[in-house]
Amino acid sequence: MPAQLGLKVDVDTLEGFRKGVPALLEILAARGIKASFFVSLGPDNSGRAIFRVFKQQGFLEKMWRTRAPALYGLKTMFYGTLLPAPVIGEGAGEILAAVVGAGHELGLHGYDHVRWHDQLLTMSREEVSRELAQAQEMFMHNLGHTAYSFAAPGWQCSAAHRAVLAAGGFLYSSDTRGYAPYFPQFGEEINPLLEIPTTLPTLDELLGFDGCSPDDFTELVLSRLQKSVFPQVLTVHAEVEGGPLRGDFANLLDRCREQGVEFFRLEDWARDLLQEQGKIPVAGVRQGRLPGRAGTVSCQGPLEVQA
């Protein structure tokens, strides 16, 4: 059976949305590949991320190692501080329609990406509900219907936000880092919404880490695909793989195609999995650290078979 890879495209910033998404659409169209896009639609407060230097171990080192100003652009790094925070979803209809029209999945990546990333674990269910309602309102305004898939900014997952998603009619979510689809458990409570985690490291995490180059990253992904008997999920960022490193991303896709890798949308996998819902295991969620990444992310724990 050929290796299978789901491409999850996170769109965090205005720059990534306006320039990165069209670039990725062109790259994917040239290769006949469909992906799952998740878009932040609220204010681009990227500049406020600088305050993580006081809270997150490894943040400054990562910014230096990845040459963040060149990777993300100086204007983006000032939004929300020295520059007003533009609202990504305003006037976004044409690009969003282009994503859907090309056959890709389109879901939500929150409203205010920085606020979710930095504050989710202390947010109440009511605060999370307001955040998601704002995102859905902007999605509805641009596309005429609500989203049914979600990907948490910064892989920050909580019992409160999963409860809101489950009550909101979502098909599935992709909020954690892990190794296989599951139903998340928080304490004694099992969340009924399917979770499809990101299984592979990301380029922006490993770039420059122990000397890792884009070519090294491509070899790592290919190696993981060759060794795994399960489908893998790779998260790419519109600001990175659709920006300065788009040539490296195109090369990764070409190498995958040469080796017969099959690509899939997360939505399609979710629908297949949910046809046999009783076979989907349960796993806890914990905060953990990953190589090359600043701070912690929500990670999948050991699997437990449902009774």
Task: Read off the pLDDT of residues 9-43 as tens digits, 9 standing for 90 and up.
Answer: 999 999 999 999 999 999 999 999 999 999 999 99
**Residue 193 and residue 166 in contact, taking contact as beta carbons nearer than 8 Å:** yes
Model pLDDT, residue 127:
97
Q: How many CB atoms lie within 10 A of CB 229?
A: 6
Q: How many CB atoms lie within 10 A of CB 272?
A: 10
Give me the count of residues in the chain.
307
Per the DSSP assignment, residues forming a β-bridge with 196 are none
Model pLDDT, residue 72:
64
Model pLDDT, residue 198:
98
241-257: average pLDDT: 97
For the stretch 121-167, pLDDT in tens is 999 999 999 999 999 999 999 999 999 999 999 999 999 999 999 99
pLDDT at 180 over 50: yes
pLDDT at 68 over 60: no
For residue 133, the Cα-to-chain-centroid distance in whole angstroms is 19
Residue ranges covered by each domain of the chain? 4-304
- First-to-last alpha carbon distance for the chain, in angstroms, is 30
4-304 is classed in which CATH architecture?
Alpha-Beta Barrel (3.20)
Give me the long-range contacts of 273-277 (CB less than 8 A, separation at least 24): 273/181, 273/194, 274/171, 274/172, 274/194
